[in-house]
A and B are shown apart, each in its own frame.
Chain A
Amino acid sequence: MIRPLILGWLFAVAVATGASAQSPGRAELIAGLCGNAAATGDAGNRILASAGQPDAAELPWMETVTSALLDRQLKCAADPGQTVVDGGGAVRNAVTLEPASAPDQPKVPVLNLKNRAVFELAQSALRLRVGATPSVRRQALTALGRKAASVPVEVFEQAAAGESDAGLKAEIESTAQISALNSPDIAKRIAAVERLASTPNRRVQTQIAALLADPAYKSDQKFRLAVDAALIKVGQGILLGDVLSTLYNGLSFASILFMAAIGLSVIFGLMGVINLAQGELIMIGAYVTWLTQEALKSIAPGLADYYLFIAVVPAFLVTAGIGVLLEATILRHLYKRPLMSLLATWAISLFLINLVRVSFGTQNLQFLTPFYISGGVPVVGDFIVTWNRLFAIAFAAITLALTWFVVNRTGLGLNIRAVTQNRDMAGCIGIPTRKIDMMAFGLGSGLAGLAGLSLSPIYNVNPQMGGNFIIDSFMVVVLGGVGTIGGTLVAALGVGQVNVLIEPLWGAVAAKVIVLFLIIAFLQWRPEGLFTAKGRRR
């Protein structure tokens, strides 16, 4: 009878000793948390330091007490072993986290500002390691990122090693570099500086530049060299990024100008009709795109994201149809009277604006932002290839290719070019000039519709939007030389780039004015534009 009792006693002792192997550490920490400000701060720093230890077993406990302290749920007793966590609907012993009863007259420690910052950092560090869901961990990382320099680099290293979410892992690693900059180990610091310099952008530049004031910059030559080299490399990267980014923005602006102008170029070039309603055809193209999106939402919600592709056909056909109708009913009778056709197209533009205003209202239309045009890819420096601009550029490139094909490689295109050049001769060799006029007007109008489609994810779509484009498109058409696709392209690229180059220096309005003056000066010198189709013009 005695032996089992003894064994049981021994076992109990062993268990108690095992438990107490960690308990003194825990108890000591709790005592610190319940102590005076200095003791509390000391405990906070110890927690923060241990957040980077490889063994994560103790971390959930630390997270619990740290959060309890921050939320004023830690109720201290004179004996740390009696201190409880009173929150989450239960009272638990702070050391063992087993149910317990609250002590009499507990003391609730209040953190001063300095200590609160330490504990908040510790809490985030712990949550980054052991947070239950990726979103909790991501939140913790964001909080840490602001003060990455004061977090031990091991926290990030361990967190990255244990992270299962690939995206989050990459973010942790990038934050870790910033933390490593301030690591006590100089080799680690140099490595971090070099790693940072491999992804140059302005944030990195600020971070590395801050090291110039670091004592190590003066005392350690290797560190100084590393920082200087990194600054040069980052500077170059940023410059390259800025150049590319300007080119990219210019290209995207140019693609929009080109889309708006290409239809006008066909119409103006062929018939000499100054179509002031072209902007409104762009607007109608955007509205047809919106209608397609709405129709898809109600008929096939799964396809709604692809409305930008599906709307290509209706946007082209509807505006082309309107163009053909306008030509056949109104403009056909005014070809010999340019002023009248100018006024007539202006009237048409007012009519279309008000028609849309009455039927749809004046508010901006709401467009979905499909996944394929949201976000972008950082390339170098601060240069990010944004998908929506890339979409506009690609769309303009495809339109350019198709228009070129239609005009240069099809029978219709050959007829259009012939009529553009010499209407009488074209008629005499059997080209139905009137029908060609109508089809070319339809083509030009349809291209305006496509312009509306490609603009809709970037610009505000409302009944007045057309007016913004008509001036720009005329600028491009006249500069490029009437009726040449190549001229329109080059003029759009030129105007787009010059605009984007001037904008950061003197602002958008000044850029417009300067570009306009440049074009006027250019036309004084070459009134026929950059490229001209030779031939008799009426």
Chain B
Amino acid sequence: MSGGTALVIDGLEVEFGRFRAVDNLSLAIDYGEVRALIGPNGAGKSTVLNVVAGVTPAKAGRIVLDDTDLIGLSEAQIARKGVRRKFQKPSVFEVLTVRENIELGLGVPVAKAPSGRIDEVLAMVNLTELADRPAGTLAHGQKQWLEIGMVLASDPKILMLDEPVAGLTDEERQRTAALIRALRRPDRAIVVVEHDMGFVEEIADKVTVLHEGRTLFEGPMSRVREDARVIEVYLGR
């Protein structure tokens, strides 16, 4: 599986009323890579994640994971196929404890999960000491990590992170970047939606720039900064 194509988005169209949020978008994401989706507000970045996760219905197009078409499946079914997504705003379950949040993320009863998996994930996102605190009492950055831990717990094939460093301090940002790099594996594709170009540069193998629902540019980060169109619509501002 390693190195092959994980997720193919083909001719995707999404409309909200008369507003076309995603317009004939095609995208292929490989196993083992960290892909960043960037673009100005309203470019359709989060919408793409929502459609892949099954939250938002697509008007047309295909989304294929390995050999399965995800269009038409429910959120939970898609999640169980190994696609996990972290929301932009931390969406942890605030009254549940940190441990329970991770437990939910497993997607299977605790007894069936690999033993010690919860502790392993807690250690990975650096929340071991806070395991029995209600998630609502965590600081913003800790919530972000907890949510990454939740989507990580089930060992997903596709990991989609929507603005994982929004509102974090520099130090927290560094730790998040290190965490994401550590999550990179040959049998996993990581998709990150992010505004913070410095952060994207640190983690991404490849960048896709979206603009008005279309792909504006796709390639390594080093070349993004040189692309005239990208500079015009995004970096230049």
By a beta-carbon cutoff of 8 Å, the part of chain A in contact with chain B is 411, 414-415, 417-418, 421-422, 424-434, 533-536
What 1/0 flags go to B76-100 for Cβ under 8 Å of A?
Answer: 1001100011010001111110001
Determine whether the beta carbon of A427 is less than 8 Å from that of B76: yes
Determine whether the beta carbon of A417 is less than 8 Å from that of B93: yes
What 1/0 flags go to B175-187 for Cβ under 8 Å of A?
Answer: 0000000000000
In the complex, whether B104 has a CB less than 8 A from a CB of chain A is yes
Determine whether the beta carbon of A428 is less than 8 Å from that of B95: no
Set of chain B residues within 8 Å of A424, measured between Cβ atoms: 55, 75, 87, 91
What 1/0 flags go to B41-60 for Cβ under 8 Å of A?
Answer: 00000000000011100000
Determine whether the beta carbon of B76 is less than 8 Å from that of A432: yes
Set of chain A residues within 8 Å of B54, measured between Cβ atoms: 427
A382 to B53: give the CA distance in the assembly, Å: 66
Top 5 nearest A-B pairs by Cβ distance?
Answer: A427-B75, A430-B79, A430-B107, A425-B91, A432-B76
In the complex, whether B222 has a CB less than 8 A from a CB of chain A is no
Q: A425-B93, A430-B154, A433-B75 are in contact. List 6 more A-B contacts (CB 8 A).
A: A427-B76, A429-B104, A431-B79, A533-B95, A535-B93, A536-B91
Determine whether the beta carbon of A425 is less than 8 Å from that of B87: yes
Q: Which of B53, B85, B87, B136 contacts A534 (CB 8 A)?
A: B136
A417 to B150: give the CA distance in the assembly, Å: 16
Set of chain A residues within 8 Å of B136, measured between Cβ atoms: 534-535
Q: Which of B55, B100, B109, B154 contacts A429 (CB 8 A)?
A: B154
Q: Which of A411, A425, A430, A534 contacts B80 (CB 8 A)?
A: A430
Shortest distance in angstroms between A416's beta carbon and chain B's nearest beta carbon?
11
Interface residues of B in 1-34 (CB under 8 A from A): none
A432 to B54: give the CA distance in the assembly, Å: 13
Determine whether the beta carbon of B76 is less than 8 Å from that of A535: no
18 A-B pairs whose Cβ atoms sit less than 8 Å apart in the complex: A411-B109, A414-B104, A418-B93, A421-B94, A425-B87, A425-B93, A426-B104, A427-B74, A427-B75, A427-B76, A428-B79, A428-B87, A429-B79, A430-B154, A431-B107, A432-B74, A434-B76, A535-B94
Determine whether the beta carbon of A417 is less than 8 Å from that of B95: yes
Set of chain A residues within 8 Å of B151, measured between Cβ atoms: 428-429
In the complex, whether B194 has a CB less than 8 A from a CB of chain A is no
A292 to B124: give the CA distance in the assembly, Å: 55
A431 to B100: give the CA distance in the assembly, Å: 14
Determine whether the beta carbon of B107 is less than 8 Å from that of A429: yes
In the complex, whether B197 has a CB less than 8 A from a CB of chain A is no
A433 to B109: give the CA distance in the assembly, Å: 15
Interface residues of B in 132-180 (CB under 8 A from A): 136, 150-151, 154
Residue of B nearest to A424 (CB): B55
Shortest distance in angstroms between B138's beta carbon and chain A's nearest beta carbon?
12
Determine whether the beta carbon of B75 is less than 8 Å from that of A428: yes
A422 to B110: give the CA distance in the assembly, Å: 21
Interface residues on B, range: 20 to 34
Determine whether the beta carbon of B76 is less than 8 Å from that of A421: no
Shortest distance in angstroms between B194's beta carbon and chain A's nearest beta carbon?
19
A535 to B93: give the CA distance in the assembly, Å: 7
Q: Which of A425, A429, A433, A535 contacts B95 (CB 8 A)?
A: A535
In the complex, whether B105 has a CB less than 8 A from a CB of chain A is yes
Determine whether the beta carbon of B104 is less than 8 Å from that of A428: no
Set of chain B residues within 8 Å of A533, measured between Cβ atoms: 95
Set of chain A residues within 8 Å of B95, measured between Cβ atoms: 417, 421, 533-535
Quick one: which of B95, B96, B107 has the most chain A CB within 10 A? Answer: B95
Quick one: which of B75, B84, B110 has the most chain A CB within 10 A? Answer: B75
With A414-B103, A422-B93, A433-B76 as contacts: A428 and B85 at CB distance below 8 Å: yes
Q: Which of A411, A431, A535 contacts B110 (CB 8 A)?
A: A411
Quick one: which of A411, A424, A425, A536 has the most chain B CB within 10 A? Answer: A425
Set of chain A residues within 8 Å of B79, measured between Cβ atoms: 427-431
Shortest distance in angstroms between B78's beta carbon and chain A's nearest beta carbon?
8
Quick one: which of B79, B107, B154 has the most chain A CB within 10 A? Answer: B79
Shortest distance in angstroms between B183's beta carbon and chain A's nearest beta carbon?
16
Set of chain B residues within 8 Å of A431, measured between Cβ atoms: 76, 79, 104, 107
A31 to B55: give the CA distance in the assembly, Å: 109
Shortest distance in angstroms between B233's beta carbon and chain A's nearest beta carbon?
30
Q: Which of A421, A425, A434 contacts B74 (CB 8 A)?
A: A434
What 1/0 flags go to B204-216 for Cβ under 8 Å of A?
Answer: 0000000000000
A415 to B110: give the CA distance in the assembly, Å: 12
Determine whether the beta carbon of A414 is less than 8 Å from that of B80: no
Determine whether the beta carbon of A414 is less than 8 Å from that of B87: no
Set of chain A residues within 8 Å of B104, measured between Cβ atoms: 414-415, 418, 426, 429, 431
Residue of A nearest to B147 (CB): A425
Set of chain B residues within 8 Å of A418, measured between Cβ atoms: 93, 96, 104
Determine whether the beta carbon of A421 is less than 8 Å from that of B87: no
A428 to B56: give the CA distance in the assembly, Å: 12
Set of chain B residues within 8 Å of A422, measured between Cβ atoms: 91, 93
A411 to B103: give the CA distance in the assembly, Å: 9
What 1/0 flags go to B103-123 for Cβ under 8 Å of A?
Answer: 111010110000000000000
Set of chain B residues within 8 Å of A415, measured between Cβ atoms: 104
Residue of B nearest to A432 (CB): B76
Set of chain B residues within 8 Å of A414, measured between Cβ atoms: 96, 100, 103-104
A531 to B66: give the CA distance in the assembly, Å: 46
A433 to B91: give the CA distance in the assembly, Å: 16
Determine whether the beta carbon of A429 is less than 8 Å from that of B87: no
Set of chain B residues within 8 Å of A433, measured between Cβ atoms: 75-76
Determine whether the beta carbon of B94 is less than 8 Å from that of A534: yes
A449 to B80: give the CA distance in the assembly, Å: 34
Q: Which of A426, A428, A536 contacts B84 (CB 8 A)?
A: A428
A434 to B73: give the CA distance in the assembly, Å: 13
A424 to B54: give the CA distance in the assembly, Å: 10
A417 to B151: give the CA distance in the assembly, Å: 18
Set of chain B residues within 8 Å of A429, measured between Cβ atoms: 79, 84, 104-105, 107, 150-151, 154
Set of chain A residues within 8 Å of B103, measured between Cβ atoms: 414
A429 to B105: give the CA distance in the assembly, Å: 6
A411 to B79: give the CA distance in the assembly, Å: 18
Residue of A nearest to B107 (CB): A430
Shortest distance in angstroms between B156's beta carbon and chain A's nearest beta carbon?
9
A425 to B87: give the CA distance in the assembly, Å: 8
